[in-house]
Each structure stands twice: as C-alpha cells, then as structure tokens.
Structure 1
Amino acid sequence: MKALVKQKAEPGLWLTDVPEPTIGPGDVLIKVLRTGICGTDLHIRAWDGWAQQAVRTPLTVGHEFVGEVVETGRDVADIKPGDLVSGEGHLVCGSCRNCQAGRRHLCRATVGLGVGRDGAFAEYVALPATNVWVHRVPVDLDIAAVFDPFGNAVHTALSFPLVGEDVLITGAGPIGIMAAAVARHAGARHVMITDVSEQRLELARKVGVSLALNVAHTSIEAGQRELGLREGFDVGLEMSGRPEAMRDMIGNMTHGGRIAVLGLAAEEFPVDWSRIVTSMITIKGIYGREMFETWYAMSVLLEGGLDLAPVITGRYPYQEFETAFADAASGQSGKVILDWSA
C-alpha cells in the first residue's frame, strides 16, 4: 500500500510502498479516506530537535484521520466492517494507576499514533478497537478527519464553565479557532482571539468571535476596552506556545481567573508568579483528549449545530502531499486535508 513515511533521519517525507498492516484479535483494520495535517507532522517533516528525540525511522506518520472499517479481530464485538470511524491517537497501557482508575488520558506510558508507532498517512491503518470511535450520526468527512485536534479544542475550551464568561484565546491556529467556536456555542459572553496573522484572524471572525485582535498592532488591554471589560477576562485558553502570549494572558485575567494551556512552548520561560498568586489564577495543562468523554462532547456539539467548516481551508490528493504540507506550514491556513479515497 502507499504511505507517507519518514524514511531517513533528515528533513522530508517519502511517499512509498509499505506492507499493509496486520491485525490481532482485538484490533480493527481501517481503509483511510481522509487525513488532517497536524503541527506534529510538520515537526517530523522538518526533523527539528523534538522530532529527532521522539521519532525512530522508518515510520509511517499521521494521526488525524477518518476511514471505513474493512476488517475486525475475532474479539471485537461492537465495531463492524463498513462503519465510518476516526481514531484516538493516544494508545495507553491499560495497567497503570490512571488507566485502571478510568483516567486513560493521564497514562504515563502513552504511545502516539504516527509518532511512536506507524500512523494513518497511508491507505490502511490498524488500531486497537479501544481506540476506535464510530461515527453513529452523519458527519462531514473533512470534519471527521480532524476529530483529534477538534478534541484538543473541546478538552481545552470546556475545562472551565463558560456560560456568561469573557474568554481570551491566544493563538488563532486551527485548534484556537475551533476552541473559539466551541466557547461561543457553549454560551460565553465575549470571545476574543489574538494572533499576528490577518488570514487566520479572518478565519476566526467567520466562526463568530467577538473580537479578532492582531497583537502586532493592538494590545490585549486595548481589546478589553473595546469589548467594555473592566476587570479582565474570566477564562483564558492559551493555544500558541508563545511566552509573550502567556505573559500577556496572565496580565489580563480577572482575580480568580482560570487558564487552560494547550500551546506547547519550545523552551522554558519566566512568568509573573506573584501576579498568579495574588490574583488567585488557576492554570491547567491540557494534553490530548479525555477518553472518551471529550469524543462524546464533540459529537454532541456537532449535532447541536456547531459549524467548523470555516476551519477547513485546503484539501489535496495525497499524491500532492508536498504542496499540502507547504500550505499547512505557511502559518496562513486553517486545517489542511489529504484525500486518500481516490
């Protein structure tokens, strides 16, 4: 079968033939229809310092996908051939304290699909049945392909109550924009999102944010005044991984404000801990999705009319992966999809 492979320990990806995966008694074989390009895939393609530490070549990359079940192992009872499915890309051990307590998203031995084991940028992918999400209601294939990052957005946005709250989101990448859409849908009063890319801020406006602010020209404090806020934001969602964004967010929270942090910084950086303590600010780190509570929330949000269509800005045949990756790496796009169905 065809697959996008990190063949060598150097920049680049290679479209090549690899053996079709085999499945065990508890596994599911899936014909991939569409995949989403993630920032993780960009790191692996660029072969930066993180990728060099995390990845062993050769490796089929990719973890955001939707596909159709073609075969199930003998012990799989509730998934059948023909089902439309996406996959939870964090494979957990099942035996550690958190797994046994039902907190699988906190497993210390998590292995990432497309990072620690062969992934979904291929014609077929195999997964344990416990990692397969069956779409029981109709869903657009492009949206189904990005349930993984959509889950990151939902997990982050719904970490704290949002009804009537004023929300600040730093970073208008695809996940930040999805989080903004979720916050609006969940009842936030004002949602302000910041970035330095006008193209991405325009995408955020399409999902109905109260204010999309270019912080290269206007401060968050000025944005507060434009929205008529007097005491700061109630909830912050940090999606950029930028030190200046985190510091600005802390400086613009109300007393007792709550911050959920998904953005992954490249290195350590200082923050104003005195402000955090004296303003009694809560900071929560987010990694991945709660399994499978977040997945249920995603499906219900879509059933309830949440529209993520503006986030999808490009779709390419998988053979044009170089163009697709360049689009995704431009910093100007939303989610970029690879079509494997042809």
Structure 2
Amino acid sequence: MKAIVKVRPEPGGTDILDVEMPVCGPNDALVKMDVVSICGTDVHIYNWDKWARNAIKPPLIYGHEFSGTVVEVGKNIDYLNEGDSVSGECHIYCGHCQQCKLGNAHICENLTAFGVSTPGVFCEYQALPAQNLWVNDPKIPKEYLSLQDPLGNAVHTVFSTDVTGRNVAILGCGPIGLMAIAVAKAAGAAQVVAVGHKNEYRMDLAKKVGADHVLRAGDDFEKISKELTGGVGMDAVFEITGNPSAVLTGMRMARKGGTLALLGIFNEPVTIELNDNVIFKCLDIKGIYGRRIWDTWILTTGLLKSGKLNLDPIITHRFKFDDFLKGMETMVGGNSGKIIIDI
C-alpha cells in the first residue's frame, strides 16, 4: 500500500512509499482511510523543528486526523463492525493509570499517539487500537468527519469555561483558532474577538466563520478589549498560537476574575510578571491538552449535528493522495485554512 513517510531527519524529508499492509491485532481494527487532513503537528514533523527532532524517530508514517471505513475487526472486539464509518482519537491511553481512572485519559500517565509514537494514518490502510475509534454519526456532513480531532481541540478549549452571553477573544487564526471562533459563536458568545497577526488570508477567514471583530499586529489589544466591553475586558481569552508574547496579550485582554485558557504549544520558555497580570486580578488560567475522552467527542458530535457549525470556509484546499507534498507546502506557506487529502 502507499504511505506518506517521514524518511529522513531533515526539513521535508518525506516520501510517498510502497509499504507492507498493517496486520490487525486482536484488540485493533483495520481501517481503510477515506480522507485525512493535515495538522499543525504534521507541519512540525515536516519542518523538522526542535519538537520534532526530540519526539520523532524516522522512518514514520505520520498523520492522525482521518475518517475511514472499518474493513476488519480484531477477535477481542465486539463493539465495531465491518463497514462502520469511523474517525479516531489519536491519543492512545492505557486505561489503568490514576489519570485514566479519574476520567482524564487525555492526560494518561502512559500516553502515546499514533502519527507520533506509532505509525499514523497518512496511508491507505492502518491498524488502530479499537478503543481509539469513534463511530461517526451519519447525520454529520462527510466533509467534516476527518476534522473532529482538531475541532475537538477547539471544543475542549471553548467549553473549558462558560461562554454563553460572554465576551471572548481568540488569539490565533490558524485552523484550530478558526474552529474555536465558530464553536464560540455556536455556544452563544455575545461577541467574539479574533486576534490575528499579519496573515490577511486567515484573518479574512476569521470573519467568514463569525468573528465580530478581527484585530491585527499593531492594534492596541488591551485598549480595544476594554472599549468593546464597557471598560471591563474579556470574560475569556483562548490562546491558540503558542507564541510567548500572546500569553501576556491574553492576560491583559482578560477582565479581572476572567479566564485565560492555553492550548498553544510553546517552543521556548515564557516569562510573565505574575503579580499584576494574574494574582492581583484573580485570573483563572487553564491548561488545555487534546480532547477529553470521550466527553469532548460527544460535545463535538452534538454541535455538528445541530447544524450551527459552518466549517466550510475553513476547508480551503483539497488534494489527491499523490499530491500530498503540494498540500503540505501549501499548509507551510500559511495561505490556507484546513487542507484535506483524499486517499
């Protein structure tokens, strides 16, 4: 079968190769991939940045966002059937550590991830742990099925606090930031302020998915936040860039007693003056990682079935499998939203 493999430990370093078919283990399901989508994590692997150099051991089939069809079920599995339409939770959890027992499998003490720790889904077929597969609701538009992993990140972040009737800011207009805008609007936020940087393409997408205001580099974010909220500041700020300077921006945009939720992954330490920015204003800071398993998936399915989420503007490019490298270069270039690949 064909697979997209990180072959060489260098920027790019990716080839489309013929590899052996995976074997379905007793606790697995063999899935025929229908559609995959490119994530920021895949860009890190492709670019071979500091995180990738520490986390990835080539050769590796990468990719973790997909929708597909079950073609074989392991002998120990009785809750999946051949022909099921599935997507997947990429975080592989043990089920027996303290965090798993507490209902926090997304921060399992023994967490791994397919497409990072084990072979991923940028291929024609993959054997995946059955416990990680989510049977898709037939009422969800097919073009959205491979987006449930990143959409779940946005749902987890936005639903970490109450946004109904509240003023919220979303820092970052990448694909997950755009999804967070749509989720916040669907959840009933009074107004959603998107903060981009210099990427006019993505800031235009932010408007299309429902941002009430879009701020850019050079704007006085704190001043505008107060002007839009009667001098108070934002009830909730969601940081989705991983840019160290955005943390201070978020703290200053948030009101006293407000919430700052951090989803972005940082490549360097962040230094913050805590007294004025956190302690004296009683700012509630939340760390967000992945998706709650399976709470977030249930919420995500409900939102998608409601018809309140319009993700069409976010899906900006679609490529055939053999043109994957063109898709990746488009993603790296920045003038795109979500890119999906037909297998």
TM-score using structure 1 length:
0.96
- The SS at the match of 2:152 is helix
Aligned mates of 1:173, 1:98 — CA distance in 2: 30
- The SS at the match of 2:250 is helix
- The SS at the match of 2:261 is strand
1:194 partner letter: V
Q: How many residues align structurally?
A: 339
Q: 1:153-199, CA deviations, whole angstroms, 9 ceiling, x for partnerless residues?
A: 00001000111110011101110110111111111111101112111
The one of 326, 330, 335 equivalent to 2:329 is 326
TM-score using structure 2 length:
0.96
Moved more, 60-69 or 1-10: 1-10
Aligned to 1:209: 211
Matched, 1:317 2:320: yes
1:308 partner letter: L
1:101 CA displacement = 2.6
Aligned to 2:10: 10
* Contact persistence 1:239–1:261 (CA under 8 A): yes
Aligned mates of 2:7, 2:204 — CA distance in 1: 37
Aligned mates of 2:269, 2:4 — CA distance in 1: 33
Question: 1:151-170 to 2 correspondence within 5 Å?
Answer: 151-170=152-171
- The SS at the match of 1:146 is helix
Aligned mates of 1:339, 1:266 — CA distance in 2: 31
- The SS at the match of 2:180 is helix
Question: 1:61-100 to 2 correspondence within 5 Å?
Answer: 61-100=62-101
1:10 CA displacement = 2.1
Aligned to 1:338: 341
1:225 CA displacement = 5.2
Task: Flag structure 2 segments of 5+ consecutive residues without an equivalent.
Answer: none
- The SS at the match of 2:207 is helix
Aligned to 2:303: 301
Query: Aligned residues: percent identity?
Result: 42
Q: 1:53-99, CA deviations, whole angstroms, 9 ceiling, x for partnerless residues?
A: 10111110000000011110122112111111101000012221111
Aligned mates of 2:318, 2:141 — CA distance in 1: 13
Aligned to 1:141: 142
- The SS at the match of 2:265 is coil
Aligned mates of 1:66, 1:114 — CA distance in 2: 15
Q: 1:237-281, CA deviations, whole angstroms, 9 ceiling, x for partnerless residues?
A: 000111221111101211101111001111002112012000000
- The SS at the match of 1:263 is coil
Aligned mates of 2:191, 2:253 — CA distance in 1: 14
Question: 1:112-261 to 2 correspondence within 5 Å?
Answer: 112-196=113-197, 197-214=199-216, 216-224=217-225, 227-261=228-262
Aligned mates of 2:144, 2:202 — CA distance in 1: 18
- The SS at the match of 2:95 is coil
Q: 1:193-246, CA deviations, whole angstroms, 9 ceiling, x for partnerless residues?
A: 1112111111111111110111x1322134325535311000010001112211
What value does the CA root-mean-square deviation take over the aligned residues? 1.2
2:16 partner letter: L
- The SS at the match of 2:328 is helix
* Contact persistence 1:34–1:141 (CA under 8 A): no
1:331 CA displacement = 1.7
1:339 partner letter: D
Aligned to 1:104: 105
Change (3 A) 1:219 1:332: farther
- The SS at the match of 1:193 is strand
Aligned mates of 1:219, 1:327 — CA distance in 2: 31
* Contact persistence 2:7–2:14 (CA under 8 A): yes
